[in-house]
Amino acid sequence: MLNYDNLMVMTHPLIQHKITLLRDKNTGSKQFRELVEEIAILIAFEATRDLPLCDAKVSTPICDTVSKVIDGKKLAIIPILRAGLGMVNGILSLMPSAKVGHVGLFRNEETLEPVKYYFKVPQEISSREVVVLDPMLATGGSAVAAIDFLKEAGAKDIKFLCIIAAPEGVRTLCEAHPDVKVYCGIVDEKLNENGYIVPGLGDAGDRIFGTK
Ligand code: PRP
Ligand code: URA
């Protein structure tokens, strides 16, 4: 039983339905990319529920009034390369003024340890709300490392959004970074001996970019 204060597992039927389509090995790259974007939007909708609002004056065609606008810190979206890139456009369609940084990591296929090859984040990262994106949370090594690097760079207010997680990855991430809220489309059964999520969807990067 996964019971962490910082874990939010999505229950929305649309998310569950789209994840099933994503799992299907017959779903081609074009549809796969569209689904990743759509699911990212739906998870972001949940993950932005706590954004603070403030009052703003606005003139409608009828009268002047006071209405709500988001009074948040500025947002930074940080996809973990490669597969996290597939979620960026969906989030940007909701929050077009967000800045985008990148953390490049790949898993060593034997040790499953993350290897860093790129890191660039927007300026003033310490005063931004940071949303880290990766469709897959498997061992949790990549997510923990990415968040370690972001905290070293000054990030303080961090959320992590993923589509499919393994219980092992959820435990590792939620325990390593209890201050980070983790939003997850679904938690699957387990990892296999190669570190792949079961039943999962296979290799997310390969399916998004049509490699392999
Ligand atoms: C995948 C995925 C995550 C990571 C998850 O990336 O996109 O970043 O694996 O695994 P973990 O939780 O065990 O660290 P991968 O290393 O395959 O790189 P890629 O996106 O460049 O293909
Ligand atoms: N990365 C993926 O893309 N898929 C998995 O199942 C595990 C890690």
* Mean pLDDT to the nearest integer, 63-91: 95
Assess whether 206 carries a catalytic annotation.
Answer: yes
Average pLDDT of the chain is 96
Confidence of residue 75 (pLDDT cuts 50, 70, 90): very high
Tokens of 170: 């959820």
Q: Is 143 in the pocket of ligand 2 (CB under 6 A)?
A: no
Percent of the chain whose predicted confidence (pLDDT) is above 90: 92
pLDDT score, position 72: 73
Q: Assess if CATH 2.60.40.420 describes domain 7-55+67-209.
A: no
pLDDT score, position 12: 96
pLDDT score, position 114: 93
Return the SS3 of 174. Answer: helix
Residue-wise pLDDT for 193-209, tens only, equals 999 999 999 999 999 99
Assess whether 128 carries a catalytic annotation.
Answer: no
Q: Is 138 in the pocket of ligand 2 (CB under 6 A)?
A: yes
Residue-wise pLDDT for 31-60, tens only, equals 999 999 999 999 999 999 999 999 999 999
* Mean pLDDT to the nearest integer, 1-13: 94
Q: Is 103 in the pocket of ligand 1 (CB under 6 A)?
A: no
Model's pTM, two decimal places? 0.96
Q: Is 4 in the pocket of ligand 1 (CB under 6 A)?
A: no
Above 80 in pLDDT, residue 107?
Answer: yes
* Mean pLDDT to the nearest integer, 181-190: 98
* Residue among 174, 155, 20 nearest 78 (CA): 155
Tell me which of 134, 196, 198 to substitute to probe ligand 2's pocket, judged by most ligand atoms within 8 Å of the beta carbon.
Answer: 196
* Mean pLDDT to the nearest integer, 152-176: 98
pLDDT score, position 166: 98
pLDDT score, position 109: 85
Catalytic residue among 11, 20, 65, 111: 111
- In angstroms, the CA 90 to CA 159 distance is 16
Q: How far is CA 100 from CA 23, 44, 85, 119, 138, in A?
A: 27, 15, 10, 12, 24
**Atom 5, ligand 2: which residue's CA is nearest?**
196
